[in-house]
Chain A
Amino acid sequence: MELAWLIPVLPFAAFAVIGLFLRRQAELAGWLSVLAIAASCAIAWLLFFRMLGGAPPYEAQFPWLALGPDVALPFGIRVDPLAAVMLVVVTTVSLLIQIYSRGYLYEPEEAAEAGTGHPEADAAHGEAAQAHGEAVAAQADANERTRGAHGVRPPSAAEHGEHHGPPAPLVRDPGFGRYFAYISLFTASMLGLVLANNLLTIYLFWEGVGLGSYLLIGFWYTKPEAAMAAKKAFVTTRFGDFGFLIGILYLWWQTGVLEFGRLAELAETGAMSETVATIGALLLFMGAVGKSAQFPLHVWLPDAMEGPTPVSALIHAATMVAAGVYLVARAFPIFEHSPSAMLVVAFIGGFTAIFAASMGLVATDIKRVMAFSTVSQLGYMMLGLGAGAIGAGMFHLFTHAFFKALLFLTAGSVIFILHRAGAHDPEDIDPRDPPRAQDIRYMGGMWKRAPITGITMTIAALSLAGIPPLAGFWSKDEVLLATYERATHGGGAAYWLLLLFAIITVLLTAFYMFRVVFLTFAGSYRGPADPQYIKESPASMTLPLLVLAVPSVVAGLWGAPQLGHGFGHFLEGADFHGGEMNLPLALFSTLLAVGGIALAWLTYKNGSLLAMAMNPRPSAVYATLLNRYWIDELYMWLIDTFIINWAFAIDWFDTHVIDGAVNGAARLTGSIGNSVRQVQTGRIPAYALAVFGGLALISIWAIVIRPLFS
């Protein structure tokens, strides 16, 4: 247990070493980063098994900033079952994703030159490419410096009509070392967040996580979309964070403590009033809404897909977005103390689940579908928590981390394969469209060419859709059950409505997920690349896919009611009171999932509806979904109207009015001085007049002002 502090420190050390010394030693940087997280992962599993074996929670803290003789802000860590589960998830997923990244971060040489390229190298290519990579490192550096300045890529071989030339060789992304520094920083922050035992410490790492995500989303920062997306993500989550920070201050002012354990005591014994709990919980929840991309702060997550795909898998599937759910779980006693706060959490969660799923129905960018899916699934987790079942919410977080990371990584593999095969964008591509290598309308027929990617994505999709006995089925069932229980035990009409939302979402989820699967893998290839070069990704990428497929299948069994609710008992100990599986409910949701898959099959695989699906008639509903309910536009309008315009008004005022006034005054003084100099110089009466006049003015002023102060 005493080793717990090493878990975040090791990746942080990797970050520091890479950042300071190894920025140019790409290969070494990658390995160091992987080794550090592997060691953390081993320790995390060790702790996990000790917790499983019944070890008591471990807590350690020291005062950081003394605000008074007996008031100090603490820094502290806590290892308990909740933290242990998260540690295992975060380190394992992060380890696999870092291994995957080592294969992913290559780009075709011509793209590197033009600066719009994407990752890649396959195992056979890899060696040559890496050797080649060193040679062109200096040039790639220069490219990185000018990337984006060029804007327009020179026409590729494909566009010259040489369709049968082999695709360009691959070189390592020039930011390779930087990437691993960032990802280590991010992982360290996330692990610190998980270990935090008080609100201040969690906030500290919470911001660190946000910063890491900002840097990683904007990794290809010369791409304007990436820079914009990074900023949008950071600012949107910051908006939630400001509620979080106020919440911390509020709880501190009301209770004088910051430690989760002591706050829980206060809430459970009733020493904290329900009003305080409600206000505090809702303010904390603002932070969670931002981080976990819940409505109405969900807008950043789809855009965050501009980052490298492994980053999306790590940050936007398994770790950072789960931090909001984790925060609510950590502060759960405070939430539980306030039924109204619980209802808000449940409602935001349930609504987000169906709302995001609806947008996932029409997105054509493979990564954005995954993003909407993540938002929707996070909504499920919040719904589970809001229904009072911390076990259900956290269990869904646990299983989701594996199959969603797998989905993102398979999507990355697809993008990578198509990119390598030369899926270039046409010159006249509609700027609203995703790149061709990411657009599911321009995929297809990859089943035989990339079987590992295909099989693993199908497994993950089945798991997400909730087909028994895969992981997603068990955890989703727990969430539905918790909502149902709450509805039947005094939760009232609101929870019935939420249950309805959750059940409809099951159908939508199965449909949009298999829409992606069928459009990507079934039929024949419809895109611009030469199909003969479409082949499976290198082993460094497929291996993590295979490894992640295992928990995507079996992780759910740990919490299965038939097998003794292992997860719930571990997490909640004696407090756990999980019921039997509600068979009709489980059956019904499974049927809906199967129905959704069938519908997707009819629409996209069978072909009868294909033409319509590919070119949907522009209906109002379709346009609304495609434009994400115009919420982004609404926010932009609000920001423009209330912030940007004011900012420019102030800037204009300062540069024109004030500067003008000062310069004008100077000119005026100068010219008056010149004109009156000869007349007035040295005339004592004038000076006296000025002095006495001034005195008179001040006297009048004082008499007028006097009543105001007396």
Chain B
Amino acid sequence: MNVLASIPPPLGSVLILVLGTLVILLLTGRLSNSPTILATIGVLSLLGAALPAMGGDALTRVSVLGVVAAGLVGMLLVPSAELHNSTQRPEVAALILLGSTGAIVLATAGELLSAALGLETLSLSAAVLVALGRGARPLEAAFRYFVLAAISFAALVYGLGLLLLATGSFAWPRPGVVDPTYSYIWTIGVLLIGLGFAYKLAVFPLLWGPLDAYTAGAPGLAGFVMAASKIAAVVALARLAAGAAVPMAPILIGIGLVSIIWGTFGALAQREVRRMLAYSTVANAGLMALALGCGPEGRAAAIFFVVIYVLTILLAFAAMAGRGTGPLPFGEVRGEGLSATRALGLTLALLSLAGIPPTPGFWAKLAILDASWSALGFWPTLVAVIGGVAGVLYYLRPLPDLLALTRAHVSSAPAPAVWFAGAAVVVLGLAPGFAYAVARLAIGG
């Protein structure tokens, strides 16, 4: 018992996830024909992983719960995931657990080397999860994602080296500890590390790999990749920005604003739901980056935002899961025969993404606008508001079509995932206060 109690909370979560991964990998042969048992093992591992984290600090709890939520939705969609070969389902489940492990390590790492390991674990799982989708497009997208991930990881490793040179340790940077002689090396190191993390956030100019991955992968798996990456990246960047605000903040704000504009315009040109969502993710990543550059209030807003955003995007992807990896053109949403549950789920997600009150997306945007206004004043906030207003142009395009709710012919297999994510979104919309309080606590504000 003493031994168990002495394990740090995040490590406990990681151990349970690794255990779950091992069980699934050992039983691959048996599990490939019984997706329900497979999903059950996966869900239990994830739920188990959430438990030890409850003993940790607020940031640990937020990050682990967020990642676990992403993993749960992904896992619930494994039985219906569109794969090349259905015998790969156990692999997919194992990769989700492994990816969750990586995301948790990245978000809760005590020092930067572990964070880098977590990042790489997440990247590899993500690339393979995308690649396993049915068809040629996922493979190509996964390759692109992987190449760009490798480049950004290389930058991160360089950054680690420079930081080690400047400070003699892999500890998270803190202000005032660096010898002035090495301050420029330290600065470059911090920025390169930030670049590595930012790739997972998919901000400009690191958006192209993730863009394709989100568009082409099997929806359920792409949703998991997106969600787990975002939450881990925001938490990691929040830690980095807390300790190295001087070089990070202006750059985060700058790339945030550019991302908002780039993502908004990009999404406007799209004619199908999935790529539109992928682009809008860039705009949303921009909002988060902007907030991360706005001091403690801003970082709390970013955490609050990412939790809500992740659940919303999971809802959207869960609603689209099970119908193939192809695009979902605006005019043909109805023809795709989404069941009523899924159509309503997607509608809710789109409304939340568009920031229509009282959906949680509205509160999330409001928190960021508030933080940005108090830290940066009118003009940057204006860009963020315009991005939000323009968002309506693309988010609501499929809506009338979706709400016609004609009878569906697609299986209702993803329904549990839709219900889970949908319930989370509804609760967060009606009672956002708790999540915001936790986010503030996590940032120590």
Contact = CB atoms under 8 A, between A and B. Distances in A.
**Do A and B come together as binding partners?**
yes
B436 A709 contact: no
Interface in B206-261: 208-209, 211-212, 247
B170 interface: no
Contact of B268 (A73, A234, A647, A665): A647
A651 B405 contact: no
B269 A650 contact: yes
B188 A702 contact: yes
A33 B188 CA distance: 64
Contacts of A231: 393, 396-397
A647 B280 CA distance: 13
A145 B265 contact: no
19 contacts: A64-B433, A67-B367, A204-B358, A215-B400, A234-B392, A235-B392, A238-B389, A239-B389, A246-B381, A249-B369, A647-B267, A649-B265, A650-B262, A651-B270, A659-B144, A698-B158, A698-B162, A698-B188, A710-B184
Interface stretch (A206-214, A586-594, A608-616): A206-214
Contacts of A235: 392-393
A211 B356 contact: yes
B366 to A, nearest CB: 8
Interface string B140-170: 0001100110000000001000100000000
A145 B335 contact: yes
A227 B269 contact: no
Nearest to B267: A647
Contacts of B327: none
Contacts of A65: 363, 366, 432-433, 436
A659 B141 CA distance: 10
Q: Which of B247, B392, B405 has the most CB of A within 10 A?
A: B392
Contact of B437 (A66, A227, A230, A662): A66
Give 7 closest A-B pairs by Cβ, nearest first: A221-B400, A651-B269, A647-B268, A647-B269, A204-B357, A242-B389, A218-B400
A227 B335 CA distance: 17
A480 to B, nearest CB: 37
Interface in B148-205: 148, 158, 162, 183-185, 187-188
A300 to B, nearest CB: 13
A64 B432 CA distance: 8
B373 interface: yes
User: Chain A interface mostly helix, strand, loop or mixed?
Assistant: helix
Contacts of A227: 400
A704 to B, nearest CB: 10
Contact of A214 (B357, B367, B382, B396): B396
A65 B433 CA distance: 4
Nearest to A206: B357
A238 B148 CA distance: 37
Given A65-B363, A253-B374, A648-B269, A23 B262 contact: no
B291 interface: no
A504 interface: no
A249 B396 contact: no
Contacts of A658: 208
Given A67-B367, A231-B397, A643-B265, A702 B185 contact: yes
Contacts of A701: 188
Given A215-B403, A231-B393, A702-B184, 11 more contacts: A219-B400, A235-B392, A241-B389, A246-B381, A246-B382, A246-B385, A249-B381, A647-B267, A647-B269, A701-B188, A705-B188
Contacts of B436: 65-67
Given A702-B185, A710-B183, A662 B144 contact: yes
Interface residues of A, number: 60
B396 A665 contact: no
Interface in A538-573: none
Contacts of B266: 647, 650-651, 654
A249 B351 CA distance: 21
B399 interface: yes
B370 interface: yes
User: Chain B interface mostly helix, strand, loop or mixed?
Assistant: helix
Contacts of A242: 385-386, 388-389
B137 to A, nearest CB: 12
Interface in B251-293: 262, 265-270
A692 interface: no
A706 B158 contact: no
Q: Which of B187, B209, B267, B400 has the most CB of A within 10 A?
A: B400
Contacts of A145: 334-335, 404, 406
Interface string A21-54: 0010000000000000000000000000000000
Interface in A419-464: none
B120 interface: no
A156 B270 CA distance: 38
Interface in B286-335: 334-335
B208 A662 contact: yes
B389 A647 contact: no
A654 B399 CA distance: 26
A659 B400 contact: no
A602 interface: no
A705 B265 contact: no
Nearest to A220: B400
Contacts of A230: 400
Contacts of B373: 249, 253
A214 B393 CA distance: 12
Contacts of B30: none
A178 B403 contact: yes
Contacts of B397: 231
Contacts of A649: 265
A207 B365 CA distance: 15
A231 B388 CA distance: 16
B133 to A, nearest CB: 18
Contacts of B358: 204
B212 to A, nearest CB: 8
A230 B403 CA distance: 14
Contacts of B356: 207-208, 211
Contacts of A706: 184
Nearest to A237: B392
A698 B191 CA distance: 14
B248 to A, nearest CB: 12
B45 to A, nearest CB: 34
Nearest to B371: A67
Contacts of B357: 203-204, 207-208
Contacts of B362: 204, 207
A532 to B, nearest CB: 37
B84 interface: no
